[in-house]
Each structure stands twice: as C-alpha cells, then as structure tokens.
Structure 1
C-alpha cells in the first residue's frame, strides 16, 4: 500500500465534496452513516468553479476529494494536500485529474462508469444525429408561427443506410452502434488503442473514416496527443454533407476550424455537448450558425443517471476508506 493511503488509515475519515450532483442527497447521507465526515461545497447542483487556491484551502485536512470535472485536480493541488489519499471522481473521464501526479504520490483515483451514464450519452448522441440530419434546428415551431414551411433550401437526410464513423470505440460508442444496428448503417471505427472484433465493423484510419462517413461521432478520451484531433486538416477530408457529433470531450475539436468549415460549406452540421473550457464563450461565432446544436454538457443530465453516479462515487470512496480495492479504481497499482 502506498504511503498516502496507508497513512490515511490513521487520519480522520473526511471528504470534501467540491461538486454535489446527488439529486436526493442520499449518497452523502449514506457516507455519513458509514462514519465518514462529509464536508459539502457551498454550491449544490451548480459548478462551484473553485480555483487551485480555493480547492487547496477547502481540501486541507481531508483524506478525500469527491466531485466531477469542473474543478481540475492539478499536480499543485495534489502536492499541497499531503493528507489527500483518495479522489472519487463523478463520471467516466479522469482528464480533469493529473493522473501522473496522483500515481507519483500514491493517490487512488476512482470513477463511475455506471450503465446509466453510458446509455444516457448514447441516447443523446443518436438524438443529436437525428436533429442534424432531419433539419430539426431549422424546421421548428417558431418557424411555423412565423409562417415558414418546408423549403428546398433545407432538405432532411437519412441516418438509415448511411456510413457512421466512430472516433474511439469504447462503451458509449458501442452503445450508439448497438442502437443503430437495425438502421443498416455501415460502421467505421478509428481507435488506435484497441483491435475491434465485432462483425460488421470496419476498423480504419482516421483519414479514411473522415472521408467516407456521413455521420462522425466522437468518443475518444481527452489527451495531449489528440487535442484538436478535428482540426483544419481533418475537416478538409470530410464530406460537405457530413455532420459531426461531439458528446465526448471538447478538446477533441478546434472550434475555430469547425467554424471556418461551416462557413465554407465544407460541413453540414455539428452537435456539441462538451467544451474545452466550460461553460464555453457563448459569443464564439460558431454558436451563431443555424446548423449548430449546442447543449450545456447535458447528455447525461438524467435524474436516474446522476443518482446512480452519486451512489457509485460514494460506494467507491467507502470501499477505499475500508482498505478495499474499489471495483472502479482507475489506478489500483498505487495500492501495491
């Protein structure tokens, strides 16, 4: 066992919850019933936006931090909180945590890859595809109130029998592909980290996927290597009739390049639910275009999903504090 997790046995069992997502509050009450001192952030159901200094100040004296992605847990945070031994992350992605620093200092990180989260994002992704392909951003009730009707300037299109390209083929992407099985889609996958074995799925290069896909859906994790994976060069390969859905991580897309592609008629539409900086600068010119669907990181904004994420985060932390290896440990090697 690492020095920090071992030392935590002799410290008060205390967690600072820097983001509260639990719609009922039961997960934090349950933790308190397990003998854990729970210190709640001042804001609930809202991003608290603590900077490094504030997170360090509020986190002092706690062996654990628990929250989502709004407040990055940086190397400095980890190093200036010597009692910190556990980070219970709400959600799947851990790119808001300096994992190298966590491993170096023996801090155990857990996440919450609950089925409710995966399925909620998969449903959103399919809904966004349809909204873009069916011109639902154009054909609205408001347009009809103003006397508008259908027009040859805005034809709908199919997802049925089209080529769908998945950039990253983890659990959420597979859940999307499963939903489209009955739609006779051609499935292309770019994922350099796995070998895809599913029948009917063709694994290919990113360049081939971009050139052939009618719908491109992003499901890669965020990393330094794939920041702005969808940039000017990538967009130059895309069909002008194609649409892109990003329900993964905002850093995967260069929004300036996307804006130029849209203005130049080189991309038919884009749906965004994740942003490199959240909330994004809403005055970015991309958000003024009519064929852009922008939502506030709401793909998993389902009460049942957030309840299960909160329960899972609490369960992970309770297991870690007992000295067990949680099922959802991201870096169990720090425990030796």
Structure 2
C-alpha cells in the first residue's frame, strides 16, 4: 500500500516534517513537490492508497479516477477547498482533514484578539503612530461589553469563540444552516437578520461554491454603519472590492482580515490603503502547539486509513458505510 504526499513551495517544509514522522511510524511516503496548476502524471498516482495533499490542491474526479486504489484524500489542515467532495463520495473515497484541539483553541483565541484589536482601534492607532501625527482628540475605541457578536459558522472554531466570550457581557448570535445542538446563550438567526443586528460579525465557514462571496455588496449594506467585520476563515468568503468600497465610504467602522482571495495579499491591493483595517498574512491563529499537533494528527489519520479505520475528522460522512464495507480490517 502506498502514500503519496503532494506539497507546494510554501508548504514543503511542513510536509517534510509529516514525511519524517510517517517514516518513524513505518510508512514510507512518496513526496511530490508540486506547482499549483501543473498536471500530475498518472503514473505518480497509480499505486496510491492515500493522497496527502495541501487543501487547495484541485483534487478533481479526473485526478481521483487516475488512482484506482485510492481510498482517501487527506488535508493536514482544516481546509479542503480544492477537493471535489461530491466526486469523492460517489467514488467511495474518504475526505479527511486535520483539526486538533490546539488548532481550534489557537484560531479562537486569535479571533478574539482580532475582535478586540478592531474594537479598540488598533489599526487607527498604528496609522497615527507610523505617520507621526498627534493622537486624536476623541478616542476611537469602544467597549466590547454591551455589544452583539454575530458568528457566521458554528463549527468547532465558532463555538470556541462563543465559549471564550460567554462571560464578556455581550449578546451572542449565530448563523449556521447545519448547526446541531446550539449551545445555550446563542440565538440562531438567518444570515441577513444576523448582519442587520450585530455590532461585530466574525466568519468561521468553509469556502465552497455556495459560500464564495457570501459577504458581498448587498450583505455589506445590511450591516450596521458602525459595524466591524472579522475574517480568520477563508478569503473568498468576502467580496474584497465590495468591502473596500463599503469601508472607504465610511459604512463600516473597521475590519480585521487574516485571509484573502489572493495570498499573499498583493502590495497594490486597495485594502492596504485603509487606515481602519487590520491585515495579517494568514498566520494569526497558528501556534507552535497547533503546528506540532497537526503533524501528529496527519500521521494518525494516514495510519488509521491504511489500517481500514475512518478517522474522526472524516468530512464526507455519507461515504462511511460504503468505505468501511470495502476497507475495514484491511
């Protein structure tokens, strides 16, 4: 049985850590350094039982059919944006990601930090400091206490954000069409209602064709004129052109973004010119602890799949019965 690893230039070092850990576990993967957009020779996948790939790799039905023995596609991170989930399910292939508790905690803590930074005017303070101007006569900071926080996406990270802020004297609202067992103290709302009534909106949804540009010009206009928008999830959830227009017109009080439609964020992006926006390079919730845990979980997931066991981080759960019937106890 074979494991094929697919990394790109920015992820090669991380995949090398996984490769070394797999080797210590007695699994010898084939590591392919890949360039996004390049085709993968069919011969490279001919003997692949598990494909461990970066999450935005375009793992299409054609790619999966080129690997007749393929039983699973694994992302070492939460994101599986490039994987064709429907095709994988039709083909009986498991899609698995990585979300250890350390990652959930790190992303939730970082989100709270972004909420506070935007609420207290950190971008404006930095702009004042760097320009050498005197401090404003009136403060720009506002208390978080008394505000309404809208959480879009009530998965593990969204729920952890709510838990961290549960005692902050704020009102918690959420939107998630797939939410089950909503924690006490959170009001579940349709998205448009949440946007209209929240002082701060934080995004925690996966990027799919259905959620791309979920926050567009129309929905930005629904938000309160002095609202704050936070995104530590996926850049494609927001129409960046519409966001720039909304913020430059004064409609939003602030924003904090760790993710962008194009990464790294181009130097000529108009978002960089806004004095009331906090921008970080898709790293804000990544901690030393979460990185180590992601390596360990990737190795555990691959080992489980190779031995005929489905990991807890299975994404396409409807494939489970078919998959186990074929691969259990192999």
Deviation at 1:307, TM superposition (A): 1.3
1:81 matched to 2:81? The reply is no
Alignment partner for residue 36 of structure 2, among 50, 73, 83?
Answer: 50
- Counterpart-to-counterpart distance in 2, 1:16 and 1:280: 27
Deviation, structure 1 residue 93: 3.0
Decide whether aligned partners of structure 1 residues 80 and 154 sit closer, same or farther in structure 2, where only a CA change above 3 A counts.
farther
Cα shift at 1:273: 1.7
Query: Quick one: distance in 1 between partners of 2:182 and 2:6?
Result: 40
Paired position in structure 2 for 1:212: 197
C-alpha deviation, 1:239, in angstroms: 1.2
| Superposition RMSD in Å | 2.5
User: Which moved further from structure 2: 143-152 or 204-213?
Assistant: 143-152
In structure 1, C-alpha distance between the alignment counterparts of 2:222 and 2:130, rounded to whole Å: 39
Distance 1:203 1:292 in 2: 28
SS of 1:310's equivalent in the other structure is: helix
Q: Which runs of 5+ in 2 are unaligned?
A: 326-330
Q: Does structure 2 conserve the Cα–Cα contact (< 8 Å) formed by 1:49 and 1:71?
A: no
Q: Choose from 129, 132, 138 the match for 2:115.
A: 129
1:269 maps to 254
Q: What is the match of residue 76 of structure 2? A: 90
C-alpha displacement of 1:153: 6.3
2:222 equivalent among 237, 242, 245: 237
Question: Aligned partners of 1:145 and 1:324: how far apart in 2?
Answer: 55
Q: Which one of the candidate residues 284, 303, 312 is aligned to 1:299?
A: 284
* TM-score (structure 2 length as normaliser): 0.87
The answer to whether the Cα contact below 8 Å between 1:24 and 1:307 also exists between their aligned partners in 2 is: no
Secondary structure of 2:48's counterpart equals coil
Provide the C-alpha distance between the structure 1 equivalents of 2:173 and 2:302, rounded to a whole number of angstroms: 38
**2:109–2:285 CA contact under 8 A, matched in 1:** no
For 1:148 and 1:59, how far apart are their aligned partners in 2?
59
Q: Where does residue 105 of structure 2 map in the other structure?
A: 119
Instruction: Give the stretch that moved more between structures: 235-244 or 270-279.
Output: 270-279
**Distance in 1 (alpha carbons) for counterparts of 2:63 and 2:264:** 22
User: Which residue of 67, 78, 81 maps to 2:53?
Assistant: 67
1:195 deviates by: 4.8
Q: Secondary structure at the match of 1:150?
A: coil
8 Å CA contact retained: 1:49, 1:70:
no
Residue ranges of structure 1 left out of the alignment (5+ in a row): 1-11, 43-47
Change (3 A) 1:228 1:144: closer
Distance 1:24 1:303 in 2: 15
Aligned equivalent of 1:258: 243
Q: How does 1:1-20 map to 2 (within 5 A)?
A: 12-18=1-7, 20=11
2:328 equivalent in structure 1: none
Aligned to 1:182, the other structure's residue is in SS state coil
Determine which of 219, 222, 227 is the counterpart of 2:212: 227
Question: d(CA) in 2 for partners of 1:295 and 1:55?
Answer: 36
1:149 corresponds, among 134, 144, 165, to 134
Match of 1:189 among 174, 186, 190: 174
- How do 1:99-114 residues align onto structure 2 when only pairs under 5 Å count? 99-114=85-100
For residues 237-272 of structure 1, what are the alpha-carbon distances to aligned partners after superposition, in whole Å with 9 as ceiling and x for unaligned? 111211100111222111111111111111111112
Asked if the contact 2:7/2:15 (under 8 Å) is kept, the reply is no
| Kept in 1: contact 2:4–2:32 (CA 8 A) | no
SS of 2:125's equivalent in the other structure is coil
- CA pair 101-280 structure 1, distance change in 2 beyond 3 A: farther
- Cα gap change, 1:31 to 1:243, in 2 (>3 Å): same
Q: Conserved in 2, the CA contact under 8 Å of 1:319 and 1:326?
A: yes
8 A Cα contact 2:6 2:54, kept in partner: no
Between the aligned partners of 1:297 and 1:55, the Cα distance in structure 2 is 31
For residue 56 of structure 1, report the CA deviation from its aligned partner.
5.7
